[in-house]
Structure 1
Amino acid sequence: METVFLKKGEDRRLRIGHLWVFSNEIDTKRSPLGSFAPGQSVLVADCGGRPLGTGYVNPASLIAVRMVSRKADEVLDASLLHRRLSDALALRERMFRTPFYRLCHGEGDFLPGLVADRHGDHVVCQITTAGMDAHTDELLSVLDSLLHPSSILLDNNVASRDLEGLERFQRVASGDVPEEISVEENGMSYAVPLKNGQKTGWFYDQRVNRAALTPFVQAQQGCSVLDAFCYAGGFGALAAKNGAGKVTFMDASAHALSYAKRNAEQFGTETELLQGDALTLLADLRREGRTFDIVCLDPPAFIKRKKDAKQGLEAYQRVNEIGLDLVRPGGMLMTCSCSHHLEADALRGLVTRAAGKRRRHARLLFQGFQGPDHPIHPAMPETAYLKTFLFHLPE
């Protein structure tokens, strides 16, 4: 392997376990980035030549190297993929009784560039880096040997591949991928679109947070629930199962709303579907004087890059202010953010200030983050992306 040398002092993060090397941290005189091929395996060394581990390089990316091992003689290959995925699988099988979970969560499972969700007999993979992309065939072979799935879908139609110089596509890698599947979570079954679903089919990261809402629904049988940015109705359909009287689903996608309706109405619950821009629809509800016993806000990432922070923060503020106005006295507000650039304290502060402006009391009852099948790398705050708060707004 060729060696990537770091500048003096740029090895500190790697020594505590961080897996990214940025292009400006590399001594390009000793290791010119242009001399490496995208996805090439490299040894990473400090300025004194002491090995820090191995990774793969992409000279076209701001994150120039992603580490895969702290050993100098271990590279990304079929053997390493098998070992890491076997470990990830064993951990999930300790946590979940049924095979519905995120099997691999990139850096959290020490395989940068790979996300894999297991939906029963079906697997959806998302490969986002040139280094991982170069090992697609080995990855598919390993998944087949470990899981023997009925199908594997490569859902590589994501914007992050643009940053790596990779084409976007969706391809059936093996088997017969169904149009929709049934996902088991929190004691219920959700109908979910697979080929034309969002992300990798389902948002398992909210499993624990959805469950946290359940006791409050059960305690107020017949309550009204607003599930905004609902996708297939993760929060609202579970509320329906546990006794909600009416659930209002809101999403930009009519396709997603049709699944949310099916998932809730299997329990005989009355549903209302609102399709369009959620911010506009939320404002319309407020103008109409509508209120709900429980309001759930689970928007997409409004802050995808640091330079979007100001505009994104304004969007989060607006959503939460309107959402709070839609909670009737004595009701609940569950608010979420999947932007890792928005810290938990900032999201909590948005709601606190909004309540203060309205002279409403707010109690924080629950604070959550991504589920255990989306492990956080302790040396990488970037991997702790999901924040969820449940507030009670007394009369």
Structure 2
Amino acid sequence: MRPYAKLYITRKGEMAARSGHPWVYGEEVIRVDGTYATGDIVDVYSQKGRYLGTGFANDISKIRVRIVSDNANDRFDDAFWQRRVKYALQYRYTVMGPADFSCCRLIFGDADQMPGLTVDRYNDILVAQTLCYGMDQVKPVIFKALVDELAAMGVSVRGIYERNDVKVRELDGMTQYKGWYEADFLPQPGSPVTTINENGVLYDVDVENGQKTGFFLDQKYNRLAVAKIAAGRHVLDCFTHTGAFALNAAKGGAASVTAVDVSEEAVAMTNENIRRNGLEQIVTAKQANVFDLLTEMAEQKCRDYDFIILDPPAFTKSGHTVHNAIRGYKEINLKAMKLLPRGGYLATCSCSHFMRDDLFRRMLRDAAKDAGVHLRQIEGRQQSPDHPILWNVPETDYLKFYLFQVV
């Protein structure tokens, strides 16, 4: 006799669960046998009584159950979560290799069957964000397993910093906060700033104040793709954040690089990273609104750059605003295409799951047509493999990256 409450769901919910999607929405639950509290483990069944999976329940959230296993023999004890952590670490060590394992995403939510949990490694600091109430309850086991498993791999963790300062936590009935996770298995962590080496470029990462968890790790190998063709080019890096694409282009031998961001703080961080890597003679950071800057350059018929990089923030975070986002993406891509000389290069991307690849490609075709140019594709890429894509969970597939020659 299983000790969990039973939630019976609609045919639509059953089809999603049987295809491997881990979310059961509130409107899909048609009957409940037994009682449970927010964050408890519950079983999910079809209307006809077929077992579909087991997961964390939450009546507060739109997602009523987040399934963590479809194996009826699983026991959700400490050993279960320790195995999940071990599998996640072994996967990263394999696909990233020893060198890139020092700064990468260790846990990527549903893609690692640990819903709502993100853990990034920045050298000796781990940064965690927990957006699922049930996972929040088991995080002491997860965090201890991370430290123990990494120690067995020869990695010493100085501290775990929690970046739970996001509003979406409230949708799951949790409060916002950030700070060091305190536990007897962790030392006194000290400064929230650490140094990482990505693709041969050094960065100071402030896990307390940086965006998201401190740094954008998912573009790691896309930056290498940019560096590969940057030699001798005059590069404009738009929405530079901490200057990562700009610095990779400089390392790749660019003749000059201008890194642009609207944020004064981002420009300050970029300048620090420029100095740290000794690239002051090649890279210049500039504070400006990218939309306004591209418009101004177009009006002036500027031809200073033969390689433009567009890495904007997500213009849409819901399906309802996709059409507005398409207009924003088209505007910057159209202007960039017009600014580039024939034979110039364009790197362009979208980090929004809702901006599907087919929509993004269609937007690029339309922009190229309006600009009167043709696009010769060099590469089409996605997020780095430490952010794995589960084909049965479309939400894990979010980053589109294209590299073109404009002809």
| TM-score bin, normalised by smaller chain | over 0.9
Indicate the residue corresponding to 2:333 in structure 1: 320
TM-aligned CA deviation for residue 76 of structure 1: 4.7
TM-aligned CA deviation for residue 204 of structure 1: 1.3
What is the alpha-carbon distance in structure 2 between the residues aligned to residue 179 and residue 287 of structure 1? 44
Match of 2:308 among 288, 295, 298: 295
Indicate the residue corresponding to 1:150 in structure 2: 158
Q: Check conservation: 1:367, 1:389, Cα contact below 8 A.
A: yes
Indicate the residue corresponding to 1:136 in structure 2: 139
In structure 2, the CA distance between the partners of 1:132 and 1:357, relative to structure 1 (3 Å rule), is same
Indicate the residue corresponding to 1:384 in structure 2: 397
Indicate the residue corresponding to 1:159 in structure 2: 167
What is the alpha-carbon distance in structure 1 between the residues aligned to residue 274 and residue 256 of structure 2? 9
In structure 2, the CA distance between the partners of 1:385 and 1:369, relative to structure 1 (3 Å rule), is same
In structure 2, the CA distance between the partners of 1:246 and 1:16, relative to structure 1 (3 Å rule), is same
1:96 maps to a residue whose letter is: G
What is the alpha-carbon distance in structure 2 between the residues aligned to residue 183 and residue 279 of structure 1? 31
Match of 2:245 among 235, 249, 256: 235
Q: Check conservation: 1:57, 1:64, Cα contact below 8 A.
A: yes
Q: Report which stretch shifted further, 128-137 or 111-120.
A: 128-137
- Equivalent residues in 2 for 1:337-348 (5 A)? 337-348=350-361
Q: Aligned residues, how many?
A: 388
Query: In the alignment, is residue 74 of structure 1 matched against residue 74 of structure 2?
Result: yes
What is the alpha-carbon distance in structure 1 between the residues aligned to residue 73 and residue 56 of structure 2? 13
What is the alpha-carbon distance in structure 2 between the residues aligned to residue 207 and residue 182 of structure 1? 16
TM-score (norm 2): 0.90
What is the alpha-carbon distance in structure 2 between the residues aligned to residue 364 and residue 16 of structure 1? 33
C-alpha distance after superposition, 1:152-193 (max 9, x if no partner): 100011232132122111111143253432222223322333
Query: In the alignment, is residue 92 of structure 1 matched against residue 92 of structure 2?
Result: yes
- Equivalent residues in 2 for 1:166-315 (5 A)? 166-174=174-182, 175-218=188-231, 221=232, 223-265=233-275, 266-291=278-303, 292-315=305-328
TM-aligned CA deviation for residue 268 of structure 1: 4.1
Q: Check conservation: 2:5, 2:32, Cα contact below 8 A.
A: no
2:162 maps to a residue whose letter is: L
| SS of equivalent residue, structure 2 residue 169 | helix
1:289 maps to a residue whose letter is: K
In structure 2, the CA distance between the partners of 1:30 and 1:334, relative to structure 1 (3 Å rule), is same
What is the alpha-carbon distance in structure 1 between the residues aligned to residue 321 and residue 33 of structure 2? 33
What is the alpha-carbon distance in structure 2 between the residues aligned to residue 78 and residue 178 of structure 1? 31
Query: In the alignment, is residue 21 of structure 1 matched against residue 24 of structure 2?
Result: yes
TM-aligned CA deviation for residue 256 of structure 1: 1.9
1:52 maps to a residue whose letter is: L
What is the alpha-carbon distance in structure 1 between the residues aligned to residue 40 and residue 32 of structure 2? 17
- Say what the alpha-carbon RMSD is for the aligned residues: 1.9
Q: Which runs of 5+ in 2 are unaligned?
A: 151-155, 183-187
2:294 maps to a residue whose letter is: L
| SS of equivalent residue, structure 2 residue 49 | coil
In structure 2, the CA distance between the partners of 1:72 and 1:264, relative to structure 1 (3 Å rule), is same
Query: In the alignment, is residue 335 of structure 1 matched against residue 345 of structure 2?
Result: no
TM-aligned CA deviation for residue 73 of structure 1: 4.5
Q: Report which stretch shifted further, 35-44 or 207-216.
A: 35-44
TM-score (norm 1): 0.93
In structure 2, the CA distance between the partners of 1:315 and 1:45, relative to structure 1 (3 Å rule), is same
Indicate the residue corresponding to 2:129 in structure 1: 126
What is the alpha-carbon distance in structure 1 between the residues aligned to residue 173 and residue 339 of structure 2? 44
TM-aligned CA deviation for residue 231 of structure 1: 1.2
What is the alpha-carbon distance in structure 1 between the residues aligned to residue 361 and residue 281 of structure 2? 32
Q: Report which stretch shifted further, 253-262 or 86-95.
A: 253-262
Indicate the residue corresponding to 1:62 in structure 2: 62
1:228 maps to a residue whose letter is: C
What is the alpha-carbon distance in structure 2 between the residues aligned to residue 313 and residue 31 of structure 1? 45
